[in-house]
Every structure is written in C-alpha cells, then in structure tokens.
Amino acid sequence: MRDNVDEKLVKHVQDLLLSVGEDPNREGLLRTPDRFLKAFQFFTQGYEKSVDSVINGALFEAPYSEMVIVKNIELYSLCEHHLVPFFGKCHVGYIPQGRVIGLSKIPRIVEVFARRLQVQERLTSQIADCLMNKLNPSGVGVVIEAVHLCMMMRGVEKQNSSTQTSSLLGAFREPATRAEFFNLIK
C-alpha cells in the first residue's frame, strides 16, 4: 500500500462509498479512493519512521542541568477506535544529565508516535518513555491537550470538550519539579 495504491484497497474504498449510498463513478468521487488511500498513508506515516533515524545522532554532551521545555507542539493523530482525527498540542520537558537533544528533534519524535493509530494516553507515555530511554535525563514530563472528533462529531457530541493527559517520569514526579513544569507550560 505504501508506494503503489493497491487495486484491492481502491475497490474496498469504492465499496465503502457504495455502502453509504454514493456512486463511486460520480465525477467528484472518481479519484476519491486514490486520494483517501494516499491521505491515510500520510496520516499513518509514523509506522515508517524510527526514532533513531529521526534523532540522527543529534544528542550532544552539555553541562546544562536545568529544565528544557518545548511547548505548544502541534500534533495530529487518528483515534484507533474510530479512525477519526484527534489533534492538539504537546508540551515536553526534560532535565538533562550531561546530554541534550537537538531541539527540533523533540517535535519530530512527537510526530513519529502521533502519526500512528493511537489513544492519547498511550501517545503521551510513548513520547515520555522514548525521551527517557534515549537521553537518560533525570526526568521527563509530557502533557498533551487534545480534542477528539470521535467525541465531537459522534457519540456524546460535546463540542467544547478537550482531554489532557500527562506522563511524568523520574524527577518530574517530585512535587517541586512537577509544579515548576506545570507552571511553565501554562
């Protein structure tokens, strides 16, 4: 499916269009199966990326030992239960122990995990666990604030609801560090 659009998959999308009462041969829908499959490949491109290739050696020795925060990282993902988007912002903090990561690598790591079928809770933990394993910092904190179209467009249909999740590891579990992190990401 990744490089060439599989004709069986095109047929499945055409069948899906038929099942909702549409005509897949209608002018506006003729190329929809191909476009949908290419879009779905893009939405799930995180499966094709490894964290190591994203980091690409951008770990640097540094004597810095204070909190580093990258906040308001936009993320887009698909709910694994309904294949409907959820999106929002991710805030990431860590306390180095002699080693820092290139700042642009943090949003790229978020993207690797977000561009997979997800639940927000697991996404939050995957980002935190990854940074803890790759950097060996004294602690990592990750907070995600997102809205879920599966809650807004279907089901409970609550337009103004949002979900916040956090994963706090190491020093970020200590009350003072936790408070500092949450204060800085406000």
* Residue of 14, 111, 130, 148 marked catalytic: 148
- Residue 177: how many CB atoms within 10 A of its CB? 19
* Residue of 14, 118, 120, 126 marked catalytic: 120
Q: Is 90 a catalytic residue?
A: no
* Residue of 81, 121, 164, 174 marked catalytic: 81
Q: Is 91 a catalytic residue?
A: no
Q: Is 80 a catalytic residue?
A: yes
Q: Is 79 a catalytic residue?
A: yes
Q: Is 41 a catalytic residue?
A: no
* Residue of 14, 79, 91, 118 marked catalytic: 79
* Residue of 80, 121, 164, 174 marked catalytic: 80
Q: Is 150 a catalytic residue?
A: yes
* Residue of 22, 82, 97, 145 marked catalytic: 82
Q: Is 12 a catalytic residue?
A: no
Task: Give the residue numbers annotated as catalytic, written as ranges.
Answer: 79-82, 120, 148, 150
